[in-house]
Amino acid sequence: MLEVRNLEKWFGPIHAVRSVSFQCAKGEVLGFLGPNGAGKSTTMRMITGFLPPSDGTALLGGYDIREAPVEAKRRLGYLPENAPAYEDMTVEEFLLFIAEMRGFRGRRARERAGETMKRCFLDKVRHQPIETLSKGYKQRVCFAQAVLHDPPILIMDEPTDGLDPNQKRTVRQMIRDMAAEKAIVLSTHILEEVEAVCTRAIIIHEGRIVADGTPEALKARHPSGRLDEVFRILTVGDEAQ
């Protein structure tokens, strides 16, 4: 479903992503782990076609994001870091705009936006301008925008960032509910989240993949059997030593 091939990214002298390759099949929920600045967001931005890679590419449903970006993007739902949305619009207007951009017309667009608001528990705030929403609600609006067209590939950059414990649970449940039909990649700093929703995890450090496996396989790498220990050993950089 999603195939990432040798992605490289240079920001001037900074080598942010170094030959990252992996695949994600339908039914998989792939957790993207790594310390701050490891290159998770940059990798996702290249997969989604926002940033051009310095080298390598990604195939979404067989479409190359560099060669056929529009076709590739049709198959994609993307929740960027910090959950941006057009703040001057109401929740309903915003989701209607997204529905139309995703090819729904007229009544079907309104139905689609309505269903999505229900599914993401946004009914209560549908007429509220997004700028007046709390952080958790904003996060959910952006989540709603990503899943509105029921994409086969879902990329989410810290989808539970800023949510309270209840909302975190809700979002995780929603991800699990969708998982069977989609290839999902999500980044997170919460290791329990990996155990709760991910079928597989990739640990990335200084732009390189340093581990790739099921949460169980990763845990087995340390005698304590704890993911945070494994994470620490794999990603403690020079600065921390």
Partner 1 sequence: MGLWTAAGIILRRELKSYFQSPIAYVFLVGFLLLVGFLTFMVGGFFEMGQADLRFFFFWHPWVYLLLVPAASMRLWAEERKSGTIELLLTLPVTLPQTIVAKFLAAWLFLILALVLTGPIVLTVLYLGNPDVGVIVAGYIGSALLAGAYLSVGLFASALTRNQVISFVVALLICLFLLLAGWPPVVSMFTRWAPDWLVRTVAAFGVMPYFESATRGVLDIRDMAYFVSVMIVMLLATHWTVENRKGS
Ligand X SMILES: Nc1ncnc2c1ncn2[C@@H]1O[C@H](COP(=O)(O)OP(=O)(O)OP(=O)(O)O)[C@@H](O)[C@H]1O
For partner 1, give the closer residue by CB, 125 or 130.
130
Partner in contact with 38, chosen from ligand X, Mg ion, partner 1, none, beta carbon below 5 to 8 Å by kind = ligand X
Q: Is 116 in the site for Mg ion (CB under 5 A)?
A: no
- Toward ligand X, which CB reaches closer, 92 or 161? 161
Regarding 209 and contact with ligand X (CB under 6 A), the answer is no
Q: For partner 1, give the closer residue by CB, 130 or 209.
A: 130
Report the partner that residue 54 touches, choosing among Mg ion, partner 1, ligand X, none (CB closer than 5 to 8 A by kind): none
Nearer to ligand X, 36 or 241 (CB): 36
Nearer to partner 1, 50 or 221 (CB): 50
Count of CB atoms situated within 10 Å of the CB of 216? 10
Helix (H) or strand (E) holding 7: strand 2-11
Q: Is residue 162 involved in binding ligand X (CB under 6 A)?
A: no
Among 38, 79, 122, 198, binds ligand X (CB under 6 A): 38
Closest CA to 189 of 75, 9, 35, 10: 35
Contacts for 21 with CB less than 8 Å, ≥ 6 apart:
4, 5, 6, 7, 56, 209
41 counts as binding Mg ion under rule CB under 5 A: yes
- Say which amino acid occupies 174: M
Measured at the alpha carbon of residue 210, what is the angle toward residues 147 and 187, in degrees to the nearest 5? 20
H or E stretch including 202? strand 200-205
In the three-class reduction of DSSP (H, G, I as helix; E, B as strand; rest coil), residue 122 is classed as coil
Least Å from the CB of residue 157 to Mg ion:
6
Out of 31, 39, 136, 152, the only residue in the binding site for ligand X (CB under 6 A) is 39
Burial per residue of 155-191, b for 16 or more beta-carbon CB atoms within 10 angstroms, e otherwise: bbbbbbbebeeebbebbbebbeebbeebbbbbbbeeb
Q: Which stretch binds Mg ion (CB under 5 A): 26-34, 79-87, 170-178, 223-231?
A: 79-87
Q: Where along the sequence are the contacts to ligand X (CB under 6 A)?
A: 11, 14, 16, 34, 36-42
